[in-house]
Structure 1
């Protein structure tokens, strides 16, 4: 599994849910977002995760998204399918579907809602892993799942050669360093918290997967360039500018992804709203998204 890991390095936007005006999964709008991100020179896509509103979609809707993204991305991008679902059965079904479509890897959060022992979490992830021959990327995001991956379970999982990496979204950057040290040089660590892309990379992350990458992909691609060039002064500056934008994305009413989608619409990519119970942006805040769009434009121009 280690010979082709370079394709999992770089900038991977967490792909957004793309709906038509009736809240149905839109083939056309999935295609528009894939095309937009491809043109911005991202390295791959993380499809069907939190940014994709997976918890609020049916199994068939999630399959449609996986299908449409692959249809438009073809082999131009590395595609990681997030297949975490409330039941092991549904997760395995999604995993096998993604494998048949030709995805490059699978990923999954731990099982949600019930406070399960680590033996159950281990069996859940291993059921997904064993269901296909694809590489697997652990997804650790304790702030939403309520479970923080222990080093004991991590060590059990990485014995399996299909487990090639982890998307780590826990906030302490030491976690990135610990997982990288325990996983080894051939193990891929994805930085999760967008606000610490640069610090995550410096602490050992090989790549990044993030929910705000898709609305300003140019800035993360440029940040990765500065890291690769070891230009730490510019890397720190662009992270500060990215964080200013992230703060503004969280400053308006409604869910952050609703705000992102409105900013994207103003950037020429209409992918609809968000699915309830996520809240769409209020009418009074819609015009404020133009200021955020302008801020992104100015920042992109600044680093050209």
Structure 2
């Protein structure tokens, strides 16, 4: 697929599920999060993935989430739709919906629950690709799906010209280098683990898609700029500060996404809570969340002035 891949470079936050007070999908709150990210200058958004709590939504709710984000951001930034679902049929339905909405690319995790052979996983991804004309980004996240994408299978998938990249969320930075080596300039490798964004970029990732990006987009944009300028020591120091925040977010009662949404609330964006069985943060953690939000704001100010 002959196309300009630079639209997929840079910082691409994983978009969060936005709920009203009754826990239903909210278009106004989706628009508020979209504007928050747009104003901060990120390159795109990844809608309907893990951070979007997709596995706890019906197909119709996922269609709503894709539509609300597209209405808010189409023409403003790159839009990637995650359409992975337990069944191929549902994934194809979501893929066609995203294409109709004007998304720039599709992405999908491998099928979950049953342990499938490579041939079944390749067949699943291939069926999704056949459903639209959109380019496709493979999503490798073995720690949650139980399936590990190998360079050999990736090379097999690259025979399909619609494959333009891989969102690699396995922890070894070596995997990023191996996928980049396999695909060369015809693919974009997206760093997945937020804790190693700088390392991933240095090892060959041209972009990042991450679940904590939207909590502190300014810091990831700065880290990306430092890498592009070859200021690797400074980038590493900033990564350490980012990791302090990530560790703090993961140390609270409840889901990390619930904690992030509370941080966003303190940063002026209310997108509701999380969908059960994810747990909300406990009232006892309110003070710690205040501290995390204050730490992010202090880092943003510090690096804005640098």
Shorter-chain TM-score tier: over 0.9
1:81 aligns with 2:81: yes
Report runs of 4+ in structure 1 exceeding 2 Å deviation.
Answer: none
* Structure 2 gaps, min length 5: none
Offset of residue 233 of structure 1: 2.0
Equivalent position of 1:147 in the other structure? 147
* Alpha-carbon distance in 1 for matches of 2:110, 2:3: 27
Equivalent position of 2:43 in the other structure? 43
1:2-81 map, 5 Å: 2-81=2-81
Contact 1:82–1:108 at 8 Å: present in 2 too? yes
1:211 aligns with 2:211: yes
Alignment coverage as a number of residue pairs = 304
Q: Secondary structure at the match of 2:106?
A: strand
- TM-score, normalised to structure 1, is 0.99
Note closer, same or farther for the CA distance 1:64–1:267 as it changes in structure 2 (3 Å cut).
same
User: What CA deviation, in whole Å up to 9, does each residue of 1:73-115 have, x standing for no partner?
Assistant: 0211100000000100000000000000000000000000000
Equivalent position of 2:251 in the other structure? 251
Contact 2:74–2:102 at 8 Å: present in 1 too? no
Contact 1:84–1:91 at 8 Å: present in 2 too? yes
Contact 2:139–2:168 at 8 Å: present in 1 too? yes
Contact 1:168–1:189 at 8 Å: present in 2 too? yes
* Alpha-carbon distance in 2 for matches of 1:33, 1:65: 12
* Alpha-carbon distance in 2 for matches of 1:227, 1:297: 22
Give the RMSD, CA atoms, in angstroms.
0.7
* Alpha-carbon distance in 2 for matches of 1:157, 1:201: 23
* Alpha-carbon distance in 2 for matches of 1:46, 1:74: 13
User: What CA deviation, in whole Å up to 9, does each residue of 1:17-67 have, x standing for no partner?
Assistant: 000000000000000000000001000000000000000000000000100
- TM-score, normalised to structure 2, is 0.98
Q: Secondary structure at the match of 1:11?
A: strand
